[in-house]
Amino acid sequence: MIRDILLTQRRELERRLHERYVERDFDLQQPSDHLIRVVLGPRRAGKSFFAMRQVQSTGHFGYVNFDDERLTELDDYDALITALDALYERPRHLLLDEVQNVPRWELLVNRLQRQGYRLVVTGSNAHLLSSELATHLTGRHIPIVLFPFTYAEHLRSLDAPLTDQEKAQALRTYIENGGYPEPLMKGIPYRDYLTILLRSILYKDVVVRHRIRSPQGLEDLTTYLMTNVAQRYSLNTLAKVTRLRSVHTVEKYLRHLEEAFVLFSLRRFSFKVREQVRANRKIYCTDNGLVTSSSFRFSPDLGKLYENAVAITLRRHEMDGKIECFYWQGSQQEEVDFVVKQGTRIVQLIQVCIAVEAPKTKARETRALLKASSELGCKDLVVLTDSTEAEEEASWYGTAGRVRYVPVWKWLLANSTTLEAT
């Protein structure tokens, strides 16, 4: 039985390896050592295909896809290993796909590593993988977070040289449709695909995993947050507008949605930890396409979608351990969208404003940057725009600074792999 399942999966693997592949902005590095490569990220973001192509470079590897209902109740791991060795002729390298779907998976991974296998593991649940691997494999794994296509990867998928003007034009499509690879590569309608995908994620990774008895409250919460992406929220407000009643339930559902890579929150920056914990947070989504396909709006709020795209880029760097990211709010409700922190230093302040031509708008954005700059001791001030590119001196009641205006598309490309902060 197990051998038949693995044989079917092997045929699927061989078909996948002949499909067109877009190079991602990440590299697993050759798994020549005994460290386990753990690829984390949302469902259907391309983790499996990425891992397959990376492991393929080793020449000979075995493959198990645990996102298969026939394996979810697997309890005889010895039979699985025996079947793998027979089918793949004792492979040295193994790719274990969506491994969190089977019980005691961390013990299986631990045993395989002790037996000398070189492992690449993928999973769609941040909490399970990070916490359990940290417990059982301390210091013996390398995590990598793979979201849907970055803007740079989106352009790469077009497979044609583009002028700067064409790159800027392509941003609008990316901003509205998001970066999920399958609809882009196969011409599937985005809205239908992403609506079904979100429901699948909510059901498989939240409702079933956490045994939620009444999923309607979870769906209402998700839809409300998608409609209000890039805005502040309080747990009390969410409990009222979604009729979940309990703040604790809201908090629990938010945690589940973040673990499933659907949404993530941004804390307000404060030098006082208590204030940071108690302040309202801002909500963002891991893909713009999920926002446009699931929110109540009939036309997209481009400003919020641009901000969300920037938040996704910063979130990837944050999950890689390179930065910490916050928002800032002043005493008179001024706001800076993103505060970028490296170690103990605030290294960059970022506003997202797609149109700064209006004098009042420009003054509002720069005033908040200057006040935050003075309070936080940061001189790298950036306003991300639709097309404006400039560098200007600005001042506000004795506070002065130099502000860079950068088109969003240029910033996304420049920060695809590393964060350019001075």
Q: 219 and 132 share a domain?
A: no
Residue 223 lies in a domain: yes
Q: Which amino acid is at 263?
A: L
Q: 112 and 138 share a domain?
A: yes
Residue 107 lies in a domain: yes
pLDDT along the chain (422 residues), means of 10: 94 93 80 79 94 88 94 88 94 93 86 91 80 71 91 94 92 96 94 95 92 92 94 94 89 95 96 86 97 75 95 94 94 94 96 91 94 95 95 88 96 87 56
Q: What is the CATH number of the domain that holds 252?
A: 1.10.10
Q: Are 178 and 290 in contact (CB under 8 A)?
A: yes
Q: What is the CATH number of the domain that holds 97?
A: 3.40.50.300
Q: 78 and 168 share a domain?
A: no
Q: 108 and 175 share a domain?
A: no
Going by C-alpha positions, the residue among 84, 82, 81, 35 that lies closest to residue 61 is 84
Q: Are 175 and 302 in contact (CB under 8 A)?
A: yes
Q: 403 and 287 share a domain?
A: no
Give pTM, 2 decimals.
0.93
Q: For residues 78 and 73, give the distance between their C-alpha atoms in angstroms, rounded to a whole number.
A: 14
Q: How large is the C-alpha radius of gyration of the chain?
A: 23
Residue 338 lies in a domain: yes
Q: 332 and 247 share a domain?
A: no
Q: For residues 355 and 386, give the distance between their C-alpha atoms in angstroms, rounded to a whole number.
A: 6
Tokens 């949302």 sit on residue: 42
Residue 376 lies in a domain: yes
Residue 173 lies in a domain: yes
Domain finish residue from 319, 343, 372: 319
Look up residue 303 and give its two tokens: 């400003």
Describe the crossing of helices 77-87 and 2-16 by its angle, rounded to 10 degrees: 50
CA atoms within 13 A on the CB side of 328: 26
399-407 and 390-396 as β-strands: parallel, antiparallel, unpaired? Answer: antiparallel
Domain that holds residue 106: 2-145
Q: How large is the greatest C-alpha to C-alpha distance in the chain, in angstroms?
A: 76
| Dihedral angle, C-alpha 217, 289, 149, 57, nearest 10 ° | 60
| Dihedral angle, C-alpha 228, 232, 236, 238, nearest 10 ° | 10
Q: 299 and 344 share a domain?
A: no
Q: 173 and 52 share a domain?
A: no
Domain finish residue from 270, 301, 319: 319
Residue 82 lies in a domain: yes
Q: For residues 378 and 358, give the distance between their C-alpha atoms in angstroms, rounded to a whole number.
A: 26
Look up residue 326 and give its two tokens: 């916050």
pLDDT attached to residue 276? 83
Residue 420 lies in a domain: no
The single-letter DSSP state of residue 101 is: G
Residue 422 lies in a domain: no
Q: 401 and 313 share a domain?
A: no
DSSP calls for 352-376 = E-S---SHHHHHHHHHHHHHHHHHH
DSSP calls for 309-350 = HHHHHHHHHHHTTS-EEEEEE-TTS-EEEEEEEETTEEEEEE
Q: 137 and 180 share a domain?
A: no
Q: 235 and 280 share a domain?
A: yes
Q: 136 and 155 share a domain?
A: no
pLDDT attached to residue 296? 64
Domain finish residue from 280, 296, 319: 319
Structural domains counted in the chain: 3
Q: Are 103 and 133 in contact (CB under 8 A)?
A: no
